[in-house]
C-alpha cells in the first residue's frame, strides 16, 4: 500500500483554512476560492510525489517553513484573482501576507543548515515556491506598471522551457550568493509596488531596477552554462586523407629488393605519385 504522507495533507488543510478566513474577513469570490483551492491541491500532490521519489516519509523542519510560505502564497493568489475580476483589493492584507511569505524565505534556508536537513527536495520546493509567488505578484502589479513586469514572474519558467530544447541549460549551476540576492530583490520591489507606499513613477523605477538585476543574474548563469556545455566528440581521423596513403601502411607494404632497392604495389605507387604532384 502507498505510504500516506501527512505533511502535504496538513498543508492542503491549512490552505483551505486560510481561504476560509479570507472569505470570512474580506470575502472571496468563486474564482478566488477555486484557484486558491486548486493551487493547494496541486502543491499537495507535487510535494507528495517529491517525497516519494526522495524516499522520505515526512517533511523536514525547513520544509515545513517552506510549506507555510506556499500556503501564504495560495492566499495571495486567491486575492489577486479576485482583484483581477474587479473586486476591491484589500491592499493591507495582501501586502501583509506577501511580507510574511518573503520574511519566511530568509528563514527556511537557515533552519535547514542549522538542523543539518538540507536536501535537493527542499531546495527545489523553496525555488518553486519563490517562483510562483513572484509570478502572482507580477501579474497583480502589471496592470499599473506595464506588461513588461510579467518578465519578472515569467523568466524562471521561460528558462525551464528553454531547457527542454537546449539540454545544456539543465546542468547544475554552482552556488552563488548574488543569485539569491537578485531573486529576493524581486519579491521586495513587487511588494513595495503593490503596497502603494511610493509614488507611481518611483515604484515603476524600483521594479525596473529589480528586473535589471534579474536579467543580469540569469544572463550570467546562462553564459556559465554555455561555456561549460558538453562538446560533441570530434570524429577520429581514419588515416586516409584525400588519396594520400598513410605512412605506416606504406612502410608495411613496401618490399625491399636485392641491392637495397624498393618496390611498391601499383596502388601505392599511384598514391605516392599524386602526393609528389601536390607537393610541387
Angle at 124 between CA 121 and CA 127, to 5 degrees: 150
Q: What's the pLDDT score for residue 236? A: 64
Whether 109 and 126 have beta carbons less than 8 Å apart is answered as yes
DSSP three-state, residue 20: helix
Average confidence (pLDDT) over 57-78: 94
Span 150-191, pLDDT tens digits: 999 999 999 999 999 999 999 988 888 888 889 889 999 999
Q: What's the pLDDT score for residue 108? A: 87
User: Cα 258 to chain center, whole Å?
Assistant: 75
Span 97-149, pLDDT tens digits: 999 999 998 898 889 889 888 888 998 999 999 999 999 999 999 999 999 99
Span 210-223, pLDDT tens digits: 999 999 999 999 99
**CA separation for the pair 60, 50 (Å, rounded):** 13
Q: What's the pLDDT score for residue 155? A: 94
242, pLDDT greater than 80 = no
Main-chain dihedrals φ then ψ at residue 191, nearest 5 degrees: -65, -40
Q: Are strands 262-263 and 255-256 parallel, antiparallel or unpaired?
A: antiparallel
DSSP three-state, residue 262: strand
Q: What's the pLDDT score for residue 3? A: 57
User: 23-37, 75-89, 213-227, 230-244: which range is least confident on average?
Assistant: 230-244
Q: Looking at the DSSP assignment, which residues form a beta bridge with residue 262?
A: 256
Q: What's the pLDDT score for residue 216? A: 94
239, pLDDT greater than 80 = no
pTM (two decimals): 0.79
Q: What's the pLDDT score for residue 253? A: 47
208, pLDDT greater than 90 = yes
Amino acid at each position: 500500500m502507498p505510504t500516506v504522507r501527512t505533511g502535504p495533507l496538513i498543508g492542503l488543510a491549512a490552505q483551505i483554512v486560510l481561504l476560509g478566513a479570507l472569505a470570512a474577513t474580506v470575502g472571496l469570490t468563486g474564482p478566488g476560492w477555486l484557484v486558491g483551492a486548486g493551487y493547494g491541491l496541486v502543491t499537495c500532490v507535487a510535494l507528495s510525489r517529491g517525497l516519494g521519489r526522495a524516499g522520505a516519509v515526512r517533511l523536514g523542519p525547513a520544509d515545513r517553513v517552506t510549506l507555510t510560505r506556499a500556503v501564504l502564497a495560495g492566499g495571495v493568489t486567491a486575492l489577486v484573482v479576485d482583484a483581477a475580476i474587479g473586486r476591491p483589493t484589500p491592499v493591507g492584507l495582501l501586502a501583509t501576507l506577501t511580507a510574511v511569505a518573503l520574511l519566511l524565505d530568509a528563514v527556511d534556508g537557515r533552519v535547514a543548515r542549522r538542523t543539518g536537513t538540507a536536501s535537493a527536495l527542499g531546495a527545489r520546493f523553496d525555488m518553486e515556491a519563490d517562483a510562483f509567488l513572484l509570478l502572482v505578484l507580477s501579474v497583480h502589479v502589471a496592470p499599473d506598471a506595464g506588461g513588461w513586469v510579467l518578465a519578472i514572474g515569467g523568466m524562471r519558467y521561460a528558462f525551464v522551457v528553454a531547457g527542454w530544447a537546449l539540454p545544456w541549460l539543465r546542468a547544475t549551476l554552482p552556488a552563488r550568493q548574488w543569485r539569491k540576492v537578485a531573486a529576493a530583490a524581486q519579491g521586495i520591489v513587487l511588494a513595495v509596488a503593490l503596497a502603494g507606499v511610493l509614488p507611481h513613477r518611483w515604484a515603476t523605477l524600483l521594479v525596473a531596477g529589480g528586473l535589471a538585476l534579474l536579467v543580469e543574474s540569469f544572463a550570467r548563469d546562462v553564459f556559465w552554462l554555455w561555456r561549460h556545455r558538453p562538446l560533441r566528440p570530434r570524429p577520429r581521423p581514419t588515416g586516409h586523407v584525400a588519396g594520400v596513403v598513410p605512412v605506416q601502411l606504406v612502410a608495411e607494404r613496401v618490399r625491399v629488393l636485392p641491392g637495397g632497392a624498393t618496390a611498391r604495389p601499383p596502388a601505392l605507387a599511384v598514391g605516392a605519385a599524386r602526393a609528389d604532384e601536390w607537393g610541387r
